Amino acid sequence: MSPTTYDEMVSGFRWRIPERYNIAVDVCDRWAAADPDRTAILDVSPAGRVEAWSFAALREASNRFANALRAHGILAGDRVAVLLPQSPAVVVAHLAIYKLGAVALPLAVVFGPEGLLHRLSDAGARAVVTHAGGVAKLGPLRDAVPGLDLVVSTDGAGDGALGYADLLAAASPDLIPVDTLADDPALMIYTSGTTGPPKGALHSHRVLLGHLPGFAMMHDFMPKAGDRMWTPADWAWAGGLLNALLPSLHHGVAVVARKAEKFEPEEAFRLMADLSVANAFVPPTALRMLRTVTDPRRRFDLRALRTLASAGEMLGPETFHWARTALDLTINEAYGQTECNLVLASCSGLGLARAGSTGRPVPGHRVAVIRPDGCPAAPDETGQIAVARPDPVMFLRYWNDPDATERKFLGDWMTTGDQGRMDGDGYVHFVGRDDDVITSSGYRIGPGEIEDCLLRHPAVALAAAVGKPDPVRTEIVKAFVVLRPGYGPSDALAAEIQAFVRTRLSAHEYPREIAFRPSLPLTTTGKIIRRVLRDEA
Ligand code: ATP
Ligand code: MG
């Protein structure tokens, strides 16, 4: 039974983390035994053909692939990279890696050679599971990654790669998964690299259990048999993998896999309508693109869509209100980071979703806004968002970087590098990353509030606000704006947008400079890289 209030949820909460736990056994083999024909993955081809994969099929394929990897020398603890777009093979590879007690290293397909080389060599990857595009990118890099002995391609053998299908066909379908401890390393995810070089955050199997309470909140305690989950986020990102794919499978909810080169808002609506998607996890940048589609409910049958969750960047009231009007849905915003994900969440089903708030501490996690000395801040006082250890969702350590791991903690608080405030009702409001907070005329301004206001102007599709050094005011606010189709840059429009913000926010917050751009620099996870814009300001 689901709780009816936040207090009930908190008081009734207790972690149940077994000593031995394996993600693959939990999300796949358990269902394959209990309900073998249940659909796990709906694989959508670029032409729109849909193929259903059952839990039994996933178990067999992952057993085979684990046996094949083992036969090629992959042992417990080895890092095995997965460089593939959303597809059943990604799931099979992850499951096989967990079953061997090895460490999955998800890599986004959009990474260029430098991004790949950095992560593969830093991680000391021993194998890569990829497709023809990945094999081509890896070719010139292989010599630079000592120990990378095995490349497997889903597009068949060649160019130094073994064929994925050949390996599956030749391997036994029988396997006894390694009986891992919940604390054994299972996966390593690199941070998005928004503020600097990406860091490898090593997680153990329990990380999935740590996500479940937040996942329940994000989807109003509603995932149930027959539901379908979809996220446009790459499953290589903590958000895609741990907020969508793996917890859905844990609940026996089918996940839609779609290989898309880029996010197309009309296509996204069409997919959700055609496949009767019930639960969606859509990060803010993608939601802002959906917002440019007029009248979506008239054009697409979205009646199946019951829960819509978002995380990874600030959502902001404008996009929150848009979803209520245009989709008749309340977006459940959550917050976390690769190192310690999904620790704040909203839950509209329990009346716990407020425009402009990233949500409340998820039961089981102790989250606070703290002062530099580690003491909790007063209500509404801005400080550092922090999470107390131990916490099952928390990373084990940064890979190869004990100093960075050490610096991440202030006593038992894991600091996030994010500024926020908790209001008197216990809702957390994100202010900005430490480096993104703008200091102007003695005020500390979060860029999100300005960006949200800019979005309310009819000409604005996307916006980013940064601080530009100024001799008098320390910094002034400079805004980078992408216009909606039909609008062209002009001084008059810049002045109009400035006036628009000035009448809505206080005078020190309005952008004294506006630059129009055809696009903004985004991480592979769709986040605005404000540090690049700061350098240009
Ligand atoms: P890096 O650490 O390499 O600079 P990153 O912090 O962007 O990159 P992630 O771990 O993918 O890498 O992102 C986590 C960060 O995303 C959080 O620390 C926070 O700054 C931001 N974030 C996540 N959820 C939200 C949210 N709901 N509102 C605002 N910001 C959010
Ligand atoms: Mg970070």
pTM: 0.95
Report the percent of the chain where pLDDT is more than 70: 100
Distance of CA 458 to the CA centre of its chain: 29
Mean pLDDT throughout 210-217? 97
Q: Which amino acid is at 56?
A: A
Beta bridge partners of 181: 20
User: Where are the CATH 3.40.50.12780 domain residues in the chain?
Assistant: 18-204
Q: Give the tokens for residue 219.
A: 């989807």
- Tokens 């207090």, residue located: 7
Question: What mean pLDDT comes out for the span 74-99?
Answer: 98
Q: Output the pLDDT for position 96.
A: 99
The verdict on the CB of residue 195 being under 6 Å from ligand 1 is yes
Q: How far is the CA of 531 from the centre of ligand 2 (A)?
A: 13
Distance separating alpha carbons of residues 248 and 236, to the nearest angstrom: 16
At residue 224, does pLDDT exceed 80?
no
Query: Do 17 and 182 form a contact (C-beta atoms < 8 A)?
Result: yes
CB 27 within 8 A of CB 212: no
8 A C-beta contact, residue 195 and residue 117: no
pLDDT surpasses 90 at 139: yes
Domain 18-204 falls under CATH 3.40.50.970: no
Q: 173: pLDDT confidence band, cut at 50, 70 and 90?
A: very high
pLDDT at position 1 is: 54
Mean pLDDT of the chain: 95
Confidence of residue 526 (pLDDT cuts 50, 70, 90): confident
Mean pLDDT value of segment 187-210? 93
3-class DSSP state of 301: coil
Ligand 1 center–CA 68 separation, angstroms: 36
pLDDT at 197: 84
CATH 3.30.300.30 residue ranges for the chain: 435-536
Residue identifier of the C-alpha nearest atom 17 of ligand 1: 337
Indicate the pLDDT class of residue 391, thresholds 50, 70 and 90.
Answer: very high
The residue with tokens 């089918």 is 254
Which residues, listed in sequence order, are joined to residue 482 by a DSSP beta bridge?
462
Identify which of 189, 194, 308 to mutate to test ligand 1's pocket (most ligand atoms within 8 A of the CB). 194
Does pLDDT of 431 surpass 80?
A: yes
Q: What is the pLDDT of residues 310-335, one digit of tens each?
A: 999 999 999 999 999 999 999 999 99
pLDDT at res. 319 = 96
Residue with CA nearest ligand 1 atom 15: 337
Res 368: pLDDT: 98
- For ligand 1, what atom is nearest to the CA of residue 190? 3
Q: How far is the CA of 523 from the centre of ligand 2 (A)?
A: 12
Query: Does residue 292 surpass a pLDDT of 70?
Result: yes
pLDDT exceeds 90 at position 227: yes
Q: Whose CA is nearest to atom 2 of ligand 1?
A: 191
Exposure of 76 in the CB half-sphere (CA atoms within 13 A): 11
Question: What are 352-390's pLDDT values in tens digits?
Answer: 999 999 999 999 999 999 999 999 999 999 999 999 999
Check if CATH label 3.90.1580.10 holds for domain 435-536. no
Residue keyed to tokens 């299908």: 165
Residues 445-484 pLDDT 10s: 999 999 999 999 999 999 999 999 999 899 999 999 999 9
Residue 263 has what pLDDT?
87
Looking at the chain, the whole-number percentage of residues with pLDDT higher than 90 is 89
The ipTM (two decimal places) reads 0.99
